[in-house]
Amino acid sequence: MATLSHHPFLSSKLRLTTKPKLRPICPTAVRMSLQETAPSLAVVGVTGAVGQEFLSVLSDRDFPFRSIKMLASKRSSGRRFKFQGHEYTIEELAAESFDGVDIALFSAGGSISKEFGPIAVEKGTIVVDNSSAFRMDEKVPLVIPEVNPEAMEGIKVGMGKGALIANPNCSTIICLMAATPLHRRAKVLRMVVSTYQAASGAGAAAMEELELQTREVLEGKPPTCQIFKQQYAFNLFSHNAPVLSNGYNEEEMKLVKETRKIWNDINVKVTATCIRVPVMRAHAESVNLQFENPLDEDTARDILMNAPGVVVVDDRASNRFPTPLGVSNKDDVAVGRIRRDVSQDGNHGLDIFVCGDQIRKGAALNAVQIAEMLL
C-alpha cells in the first residue's frame, strides 16, 4: 500500500504513515538553536505523528537547546536518525530519562503522561503535555499562548523546580484562537460549535485507512474498516469519542470544559457537535457567538485581522473562505464567513467559520510556543 507522502497537503518533513518515518530534518548545517547556555529538551513519543511535528516546529522556529533526548517505547528504542545535522538514537522512556532535562514535550497518550509526567516534574523538568491527562486538573495551567499566557505566570526554566502545563484539545485551540479576540471586545455569553474533523486527529493509521478506503470504494470493493469500524471515505459520522450519559461525546465536552477553564469563566455557555469528515489533515469549525455587548461584523473583521496567529480569508465576491487544504502545514488559523447572526437582535450575534491544522497549531506548534514562554 502506498504511503501518504505524495499528497501535496502533507508536510514535506513528515510522512504520515502507520509508522511515521523518521526523516532527516535540516541535516546539512549546524543550526543556531544548538547552544551551550540553552535548556536541555526531551521529546516523549518522538516516533508518532505529533512527535515528529514537534521536531519540525522546533527546527522551523530555531528553538534553542543544548541537548535533546528522543524518547519512545521499547519497540522504537535503538533506531537512529538525524536532526539538525546531528545523529540521535531513540531511547526507551524510563524514569531516569528526565535526569538533567529542563523541558519535556509529551505526546505519547494519556496513560504515559499520567505515569511519567509527575516523575519528570519531581526531577525538576517542566512538562508540556499534549494529552488530556491533566487538562482539567485545577492545579495545572491549560494554555494557548495567544489567549491566556498569564495562566503560566511564574513558570520558567531555571526556577529550580518542575511543573506541568497542559496543551488544550486541538478543537479547543482552533476555536478559541478566533473566538477569544471577539470575546475580549464584546464578551461571549453563548457559543455553539460544530466541528468538521480530519482523519489526522485520529492519527496516521486513520489517514492511511481513509486513503485505502477511497481507493477501494472507487474500485467497487468493500472498504477496509479497522480504525473507525464504518466507512469513512465519501461519508461523515459523529466523532468516534465515547458518548457520555448526557448524550455528548468526550470530544464535545472537552470544548465545553476547556473553554470555561481557559477563559476563566464558568458561566459561559458552550455547546458542541463534533463530526468526523473525510479530510486528510486540518479541522474546520462553524462557530456561532452570542455577545453581551454589541459587535458588528466589520469591527469583528478588523479585530480578527489584527489578532496574533489568525489570518482572515473572507472574500464574499469570489466565494473564497477558509478550507482545510488552505491551512494544512500552516501555523495560522484561518477565519472567514464573518457575518451577523440574523436570528439575534441587533449586533449581539456573529457566525464565523474557522480552519486550523490539527497537528500544527492544534498540537505541536502550541506546545512549542508554550516552551518558548518558559525561556
> Considering only 14-28, 59-73, 267-281, which range has the smallest mean pLDDT?
14-28
Among 25, 86, 87, which residue's Cα sits nearest to residue 51?
A: 25
- Cα atoms in the 13 Å half-sphere on the side-chain side of 161: 4
Q: CA dist 68 to 40, 44, 155, Å?
A: 6, 11, 21
Examine the pLDDT at 10 and tell me if it is beyond 60.
Answer: no
Whether 170 sits among the annotated catalytic residues: the reply is yes
- Per the prediction, the chain carries an average pLDDT of 91
Mean pLDDT of 192-213: 94
Report the 3 state secondary structure along 242-277: CECCCCCEHHHHHHHHHHHHHCCCCCCEEEEEEEEC
% of the chain exceeding 70 in pLDDT: 91
Please state, as a whole number, how many other Cβ atoms lie within 10 Å of the Cβ of residue 23: 18
In angstroms, how far is CA 303 from the centroid of its own chain? Answer: 23
Dist CA 38 CA 372 (whole Å): 11
Tens digit of pLDDT for each residue in 294-342? 999 999 999 999 999 999 999 999 999 999 999 999 999 999 999 999 9
In the numeric block, the cell 496516521 is attached to 204
Amino acid at 146: E
Bridge-based pairing state of the strands 40-44 and 67-72: parallel
Catalytic one of 175, 239, 283, 355: 283
Q: What contacts 21, CB < 8 A, 6 or more positions away?
A: 3, 15
- Cα atoms in the 13 Å half-sphere on the side-chain side of 338: 22
Whether 6 sits among the annotated catalytic residues: the reply is no
* pLDDT for 22: 52
User: With 0-12 CB in 10 A as exposed, 13-18 as middle and 19+ as buried, what is 136?
Assistant: middle
- The values of phi and psi at residue 54, to 5°, are -50, -50
In angstroms, how far is CA 1 from the centroid of its own chain? Answer: 28
Structural domains in the chain, CATH included, are 8-133 (3.40.50.720), 171-358 (3.30.360.10)
Helix ranges (H only) for the chain are 49-60, 110-122, 170-186, 204-218, 250-262, 297-305, 324-327, 365-373
Q: What contacts 100, CB < 8 A, 6 or more positions away?
A: 40
Examine the pLDDT at 127 and tell me if it is beyond 60.
Answer: yes
Catalytic one of 26, 170, 175, 355: 170
